[in-house]
A and B are shown apart, each in its own frame.
Chain A
Amino acid sequence: MKEKLKNKFTLHEIVLAGAFLLIFLIGTFSNENFLSLRNILSLFQQMSEMGIMAMGLTLVILTGGMDLSAGTTMGLCAVCSGLCLTKGMGVGISLLVSVGVAVLCGIINSILVAIIRIPPMIATLGTQMFFLGVALVLSQGNSISGIPESFYFLGQDKVLEMPLQMILLFILAAFLIIMLRRTMTGQHIYAMGNNMKASLFSGIRTTRVLFFTYIVCSVMCCIAGNIQVSRVATARADMGSAFLMTCISAVVLGGTSINGGSGGIAGTIVGILIFAMIGNIMNLVGISSFWQQLATGSILVLVVVFNRVIEMQKYKVKSRKV
């Protein structure tokens, strides 16, 4: 029990918090607008979509899996609700159709991964193209505009000055954090990431848990997609494609092991926030987007290298003791 408390903050968490604070301070001192309430709210508004998708991905990665189709699932769900909305269906029904499609995407992924047992990388690489294809066929490659204003609430409305999607992000995060820490399923997700075979033999219904994580991930992508459709009042097949790599990077930056078994939602949110802040600060100061890529890349590499160094030192100490 004592050891558990000691490990409450791992070294990685401290480093991550340090990097976060540093960037935050740089932002505060480099532009007077950075710390304005308005900018912070718009920062959260911009990062919500990516954050929600990254949280879904975190679950899948924790089980030792991977969902490369996350980006195109988002695009497909966006196109589905876009089509429904422009065909005159109600907001509720359109969202329902979109979520339904997401669940279907999740089921397809989990059948491939959990039942046919194709490596997740390969399975979702296939479905990635497949979902994009479906979205392209449905939308004819065009961007769907003319989204009715009644749908704008999701991405453009504010509750008590706070953007709705930011509130949604926090609610979903809280829900997932509690799920991972307090429920059996949460424990099983970590266990499977640590050792799939041992989990299976110890009686965890791995197939069921895998279905759960992949479906949740797809639904999160769907939520992200609908927020973006509402925010930019347009739906396109390629909407989430640019998100995937950034989201995976944020998950890794946030301390979730790419092999599964350790990490969590809070880290992912900090990871996404770091990326969003870098972009925001550079835009506010007026630095070209090329530098944004460079800065984001260097921070990712630095933190990952740092983690590795710590890990190796730990290992050395242990082996010496032995």
Chain B
Amino acid sequence: MMKKLALLGVGATMIIGMGVTTYGAEQYTIALIPQQVGIPYFETSNVWGTKAGEDLGCEVIYTGPTTGDAAAQANIVQDMITKGVDCIAISPLDASAIEPVLKQAKEEGIKVITWDSDVTDTSLREAYVNCCSEKVLGEHLMQRFAEYMGEEGEYAIITSVLTAQNCSAWAKYATEYQEENYPDMTRVAYEPCDDDQSKAYAITQNLMTAYPDLKGVLGVTTPAPPAAAQAVGEAGKNGEIIVTGVVEASAAKSYLEDGSMQEANIWHPGKLGYLAVYTAKALLDGEEITDGMDIPEVGVVEVKDDQIIMTELLDITTENVDDFDF
């Protein structure tokens, strides 16, 4: 029995010991909290965020819930407050569930910033690091899509839910850009897929039946482009019906390679993590990030009120899909 207990003790001490050694002195500690750990998207943010910590000379603690549990995320924030970090940079799982603990953090004098997604009560955080400007992404999506379409023909947009603020805005800017610049293109449908890949798949099948002349599907929510590509591929219409949209490289890869999807357009989640840490450090140093500033590793950012917005977007094709691990 004592042997077993001793074994347990040694194991646990080793695990704890590993953490203690990283505990530095007299540098800022920034908690980088994703919506969930273990997802390629956020792990990329982790790698870049940690790199930002090394570049800027501050300690970055990357920790988050292992499941999509908003209360678990609140517990982690609470522990970070107890730990006494200098800044909490969080991507809230639930825009309002996190507010009571962020209020606590603010009362303790800990700086709070949000990244990737925002809280409802914006007075609780100092800044929001936004992945992209809605207008820039919407227009960029249409530019790339139209190029593959040959700037003519019927197309459809698949969005998440009609009430999703960001997706709706992307679709709106994309459509407006098309109306201004590509008069030979017509939008025949605008369908919500409820962020459900199987529903997006069924929608694409129905669209192909309903509009035999359909030449393209633009997905403005991540499950939509792979689903549309799958439907197009199964109908044997690779290349005849263009599929592009917002989707992660890992989800797009197989469809890009079999030719059913032409391109994926998305921001870089790693750079987003880097920018979050950079913003936190600047805030702690009392420095300001200004509109048009060129942030190392990240690129030019746009600043609107208390939002810091990335402007660089990735165009992912078969050529470069293997360069991205998210």
* Contact surface of A with B, Cβ cutoff 8 Å: 15, 18-19, 22-23, 26, 30-31, 33, 36, 38-39, 42, 45-46, 49, 143, 145-146, 152, 156, 228, 231-234, 236, 238-239, 241-242, 279-295, 298-299, 302, 306
Contact = CB atoms under 8 A, between A and B. Distances in A.
B286 interface: no
Contacts of B37: 288-290
A298 B12 CA distance: 10
A222 to B, nearest CB: 16
A234 B121 CA distance: 14
Contacts of A42: 78-79, 82
B22 interface: yes
Contacts of A23: 12
B13 A228 contact: no
B71 interface: yes
B76 A283 contact: yes
A286 B12 contact: no
Contact of B20 (A30, A238, A292): A30
B8 A19 contact: yes
Contacts of B9: 22, 26
Kindly list the 8 A-B residue pairs having the minimum CB-CB distance in the complex, ordered from nearest: A283-B79, A145-B96, A285-B19, A234-B97, A232-B97, A287-B19, A242-B69, A286-B61
Given A283-B76, A288-B63, A26 B38 contact: no
Q: Of residues A282, A287, A292, which shows the largest number of chain B Cβ atoms within 10 Å of its Cβ?
A: A287
A233 B69 contact: no
A286 B23 contact: yes
Contacts of B95: 145
Interface string B12-36: 1101101110110000010000000
A132 to B, nearest CB: 14
A49 B5 CA distance: 29
B122 interface: no
B11 A298 contact: yes
B62 interface: yes
Contacts of B20: 30, 285
Contacts of A285: 16, 19-20, 23
B63 A286 contact: yes
Nearest to B81: A42
Contacts of B99: 233
Contacts, number: 132
A294 to B, nearest CB: 8
A143 B96 contact: yes
B236 interface: no
A236 to B, nearest CB: 7
Contact of B78 (A19, A46, A288, A291): A46
B23 A22 contact: no
Contacts of A295: 12, 15
A146 B99 CA distance: 11
22 contacts: A22-B5, A30-B16, A33-B83, A38-B82, A39-B82, A143-B70, A152-B100, A232-B70, A232-B98, A238-B68, A279-B79, A283-B75, A284-B82, A284-B83, A285-B16, A285-B23, A287-B18, A289-B66, A289-B76, A291-B15, A299-B8, A302-B4
B64 interface: yes
Nearest to A278: B12
Contacts of B96: 143, 145-146, 233-234
Given A30-B19, A232-B97, A306 B4 contact: yes
B210 interface: no
Given A15-B1, A22-B12, A233 B100 contact: yes
Interface of B: 1, 4-5, 7-9, 11-13, 15-16, 18-20, 22-23, 29, 37-38, 59, 61-72, 74-76, 78-80, 82-84, 94-101, 120
Contacts of A288: 37, 62-63
Contacts of B63: 283, 286-289
Contacts of B11: 298
A26 B1 contact: no
Contact of A234 (B16, B68, B94): B94
A285 B7 CA distance: 21
Contacts of B120: 145
A232 B29 CA distance: 25
Given A279-B79, A286-B19, A306-B1, 16 more contacts: A22-B8, A22-B9, A33-B82, A42-B79, A143-B94, A145-B120, A232-B94, A236-B94, A242-B69, A280-B79, A283-B63, A284-B79, A286-B83, A287-B63, A288-B63, A299-B8
B16 A279 contact: no
B55 to A, nearest CB: 19
Contacts of B29: 286
A242 to B, nearest CB: 4
B61 to A, nearest CB: 4
A145 B12 CA distance: 40
Q: Of residues A23, A42, A286, which shows the largest number of chain B Cβ atoms within 10 Å of its Cβ?
A: A286
A236 B82 CA distance: 27
A30 B95 CA distance: 33
A286 B5 CA distance: 25
B162 to A, nearest CB: 13
A33 B84 contact: yes
Nearest to B22: A286
Nearest to B37: A289
